[in-house]
Amino acid sequence: MPISNINIVILENRKENYHSKSDAIDCYLIRNISLVESKCQPIGCVMDVGSLSCGYYQIKLPYYQDCGSPGRDWKTCADDYSCATTCVKNYMARYGPHSGCPDTCETYARIHNGGPNGCNNPNTIPYWHKVQSYGC
């Protein structure tokens, strides 16, 4: 089997294992959310549904507060990949276990998009499909 095929098999096997909480907030899901939200770029803030969304993950102020407010401030953190990633992981760890949904990539992506109860909101399903299209 060529090395490129081996790598594909390894990645496919790894994706199949994203069914536990710790794996669900793994770097692949986080990367895919960043791809959907900003194409993995520090894009600053944009108006979205009546309030500002900022940075790599398009983090809103209440989300930033719920994730524990890491870093110096919301907008700076949102445009710093490491800080913003910490915020997203904290948010998912806070709300995922209490969502009543299974510990899967889908649950965590939908919580990111729709808030603490996002995995139960059918309006977050198209968002999940975008995240999923990047390979999650």
Q: Which residues pair with 46 in a beta bridge?
A: 53
Give 10-residue mean pLDDT values along the chain (136 residues). 31 37 67 96 95 98 98 97 97 93 94 97 98 85
Q: Distance (Å, rounded) from C-alpha 57 to C-alpha 99?
A: 20
pTM listed for this prediction: 0.80
Structure tokens at 55: 């940075």
Cβ–Cβ under 8 Å, residues 56 and 40: yes
18-132: CATH topology: Lysozyme (1.10.530)
Distances (CA, A) of 62 to 69, 77, 87: 10, 13, 12
Long-range contacts of 56-62 (CB under 8 A, 24+ apart): 56/81, 56/84, 56/85, 57/33, 57/84, 57/85, 57/87, 57/88, 57/112, 59/84, 59/87, 59/88
- Catalytic annotation, residues: 37, 48
The shares of helix, strand and coil residues in the chain, as percent rounded to the nearest 5, are 60, 5, 30
The half-sphere exposure of 39 on its side-chain side, counting CA atoms within 13 A, is 1
pLDDT at 136: 63
Angle between helices 125-132 and 105-114 (to 10 degrees): 130
pLDDT given for residue 135 in this prediction: 78
Q: At what angle do helices 125-132 and 27-38 cross, to 10 degrees?
A: 110
Instruction: Check residue 14 and give its pLDDT.
Output: 36
| Domain boundary assignment for the chain | 18-132
